[in-house]
Amino acid sequence: MGLAHILGFSLGSVLISAVRSGKTRSRLLYIASILALYSLQPALALRQFDFWLPTAAIALAIWVWVATMDQQRKLEGEDRLSLAILAATLGLLILSSYLPQSLRAFVSLPLDLPDVTFGIILIGAVAWSIRRIKRTIRSLDILLIVLILTIFVGLKAPELSLELSRAAREWTGQSPDLASILDLNWLGFSYIAFRLIHVLRDHQSGRLPSMGFQSFLLYVFFFPALSAGPIDRAERFLKDLRQERKNSQWTLWWQGGARIVRGLFQKYILADSLALVALNASHINLVQSSIWLWVLLYLYSFRIYFDFSGYTDIAIGIGALSGIRLPENFNQPYRQADLGAFWNRWHITLAQWFRAYVFNPLTRGLRKGTLAGSPWLIILIGQLATMILIGLWHGITWNFFIWGLWHAVGLFIHNRWTEAQRKAKELTGGSSQLKRIRALGSWALTFNFVSLGWVWFSLPDMRTAWSAFLKLFGGSLG
Amino acid sequence: MADQQLSLGELEEVHKASLVRLTLKTFVVIVVLNFLFMMLDPIAVIGKISLYNRVFPGRPRFPYSDDPALSFNLTVNQLDAMFASHIIKQAPKDPSEYRILLIGDSSVWGFLQKPDETLSAQLNQLDLRTKDGKNVRFYNLGYPTLSLTKDLLILDYANIFQPDLVLWFFTLEALPWKKQLDSPLLTFNPLASLAILNKHAIRIDAAQDQLKPPSLIERTIIGRRRLLADLLRHQIYGLLWTATGIDQNIPETFTERAEDLTDNTEFQGISSEQYSDSLLAFDVLRSGIEQSSAPVVLINEPIFISDGANSDIRYNFYYPIWVYDHYLSALEREVSANGWSYINLWDILPGDVFTDSAIHYDLNGVGQVITELLSSPPLANLVN
Q: How many CA atoms lie within 13 A of B180 on its CB side?
A: 26
Which one, of B302, B360, B345, lies nearest residue B117 by Cα?
Answer: B360
Which one, of B263, B345, B253, lies nearest residue B304 by Cα?
Answer: B345
Which of the 8 DSSP states describes residue B344? E
Q: How far is A292 from chain B (nearest CA, A)?
A: 6
For position A427, what pLDDT does the model report?
55
Contact A273 B240 (CB under 8 A): no
Q: Is A323 left (phi over 0), alpha (psi -120 to 50) or beta?
A: left
Section A440-465 average pLDDT: 96
Section A153-167 average pLDDT: 94
Compute the distance between CA of residue B89 and CA of residue A108 in angstroms, rounded to an integer.
52
Express as a percent the part of chain A with pLDDT over 90: 73
Compute the distance between CA of residue B304 and CA of residue A204 in angstroms, rounded to an integer.
78
Residues of chain B with pLDDT under 70: 1-6, 8
Compute the distance between CA of residue A445 and CA of residue A468 in angstroms, rounded to an integer.
19
Contact A282 B244 (CB under 8 A): no
Section A84-96 average pLDDT: 93
Q: Mutate which of A244, A250, A269 to test chain B, going by most B C-beta atoms within 10 A? A: A250
What is the spatial order of strands in the sheet that B97-104 belongs to? Answer: B135-142, B97-104, B165-170, B296-300, B341-344
For position A477, what pLDDT does the model report?
58
Cis peptide, bond prior to residue B95, ω within 30 of zero:
no
pLDDT, one tens digit per residue, over A208-232 is 988 999 999 999 999 999 998 899 9
CA A447, chain centre distance (Å): 24
A468, A290 Cβ separation under 8 angstroms: no
Q: Mutate which of B8, B14, B15 to test chain A, going by most A C-beta atoms within 10 A? A: B15
For position B292, what pLDDT does the model report?
92
- Indicate if A394 belongs to the active site: yes
Chain B CB contacts of A273 below 8 Å: 232-233, 236
Which amino acid is residue B33, in one-letter code? L
Largest CA distance in chain A: 77
Section A381-397 average pLDDT: 96
Residue A251 contacts B, CB cutoff 8 Å: yes
Chain A CB contacts of B237 below 8 Å: 276-277
Query: Mean pLDDT for chain A?
Result: 91
User: What stretches of chain B show up as alpha helix (H) in DSSP?
Assistant: 2-5, 8-40, 43-48, 68-71, 79-84, 106-109, 119-125, 148-158, 184-188, 190-199, 207-210, 225-244, 282-291, 321-338, 363-375, 377-380
pLDDT, one tens digit per residue, over B109-132 is 999 999 999 999 999 999 999 999
A183, A167 Cβ separation under 8 angstroms: no
Residue A276 contacts B, CB cutoff 8 Å: yes
Residue A370 contacts B, CB cutoff 8 Å: no
Compute the distance between CA of residue B107 and CA of residue B87 in angstroms, rounded to an integer.
19
For position B66, what pLDDT does the model report?
87
Burial annotation B187-209 (CB, 10 A radius, 16+ → b, else e): eebbebbbebbeebebebeebee
Residue A137 has pLDDT above 90, yes or no: no
A106, A168 Cβ separation under 8 angstroms: no
> What sign does the CA torsion over B79, B85, B87, B92 have?
positive
Helix (H) or strand (E) holding A164: helix A158-172
Q: Are strands B165-170 and B341-344 parallel, antiparallel or unpaired?
A: unpaired
Residue A244 contacts B, CB cutoff 8 Å: no
Section A95-107 average pLDDT: 84
Residue A253 contacts B, CB cutoff 8 Å: yes
User: What stretches of A394-475 show up as alpha helix (H) in DSSP?
Assistant: 398-424, 432-458, 462-472
B146, B97 Cβ separation under 8 angstroms: no
Which is the catalytic residue, given A347, A394, A407, A414? A394
Q: Is A464 left (phi over 0), alpha (psi -120 to 50) or beta?
A: alpha
Residues within 8 A of B (CB atoms), A 61-100 only: none
For position B1, what pLDDT does the model report?
45
Which one, of A458, A434, A153, lies nearest residue A281 by Cα?
Answer: A458
